[in-house]
Amino acid sequence: MACCAKIILTISTIFLALNFKTLVEGAPEVPCYFIFGDSLLDNGNNNDLQTKAKANYAPYGIDFPNGPTGRFTNGRNTADFLAERLGFEHYIPPFASTNGSELLEGVNYASGSAGIRNDSGSHLGDRIYLDRQLKNHKVTISRIADLLGNTTSAKKHLNKCLFIVGIGSNDYINNYLMPEIYPSSHLYTPNEYATALITQYSQHLRTLYEDGARKVALFGLGQIGCIPAEMQKHNTRRCVGSTNDAIQLFNSKLKSLVGDLNTNFPDAKFTYINMYSISSVIGVVSVLNRPCCKVLETMPEGQCAPGETPCLLRGIYLFYDNFHPTEIANRIATNRAYNALLPSDVYPVDIRHLIRTNSVYDE
């Protein structure tokens, strides 16, 4: 039985790899692609920060061509796979090392432990929270304006780009769910906290719109109650229902926000990627509640222990460490975000339709 499972997994992985290969031939589907978010999308922005939230050491990157780069997984993350699906010949570089004309194709601003709130993740050290990422984007816009001749040309260029934002996990994992460090859970009910997060998030997204973004995919939060770190904290092998309930409050309000943004900005296109739903049926992955790598028991607790050999069958694990998905999970999730498998995967459209729609959403 184990042998058959390996064969099925191998066939599935080969099929997905071939599917990606055919999509990277020819010109990219969009001229540029910008990424905002946290460690699920970070590809090196935290490497030189004074923070414990880093992944530029082995065994992170064990399956990535360049080894450890700052990606919080064994190989490629969602931002990488989406670059492949869009047809880019290379992955979008981190803001920390982007310069020259490569800015025209996009920048990755994501930062491990970053949140919507400025204080989320602060106990781990420095991080580039969403407000700082947007300020970095303004620097990029200025540089693009220099390359193209003026700000108007820069904004017109940005109108054609895809923007993805995946943030909010640390506002729970490294804030609301840590009452011994952060006061938020003492000040807000779960519903009040979700409302406060969405209110702040909405302001940031309006800034992104004002800076030229017109095609924006917002990634909702996955089932944080099911990550190994949360289950271990509650001493259970089952998903923590109260945590998932809180996450769903945030996701529901984010989905509603997408509707409001599309109504208020008819010349823009926003969509919601339902990572909660997608992560609940992840496909060929079979080990759901244990990390692939040996994790640290002291801060940064739950990240991979440096230099330790991870599990061999990484293709059957959902989590690489106590927080972050494996490459195969990232691949499958990106497939669903780009080309929805179920109607519940996205609202109102998947990324494939988002980038191909020229005006308002089709009814």
User: Which of 38, 39, 113, 120 does the annotation list as catalytic?
Assistant: 39
Which phi-psi region, left, alpha or beta, contains residue 44 (left: φ > 0; alpha: ψ -120 to 50)? left
Query: Would you say 176 and 120 are in contact if contact means Cβ atoms under 8 Å apart?
Result: no
Query: Would you say 254 and 196 are in contact if contact means Cβ atoms under 8 Å apart?
Result: no
Which residues are registered as beta bridge partners of 164?
35, 217
> Comparing C-alpha atoms, which of 70, 63, 67, 68 is closest to residue 13?
63
User: Which of 63, 321, 345, 350 does the annotation list as catalytic?
Assistant: 321
What would the DSSP string read from start to end of 273-339? E-HHHHHHS-TT--EEEEESS-B-SSSSTTSBPTT----S-GGGEEESSSS-B-HHHHHHHHHHHHS
Our answer to whether residue 324 is catalytic in this structure is yes
Our answer to whether residue 252 is catalytic in this structure is no
Our answer to whether residue 211 is catalytic in this structure is no
User: Which of 120, 324, 345, 350 does the annotation list as catalytic?
Assistant: 324
CA 38 to chain centre: 6
What amino acid positions are annotated as catalytic residues? 39, 321, 324
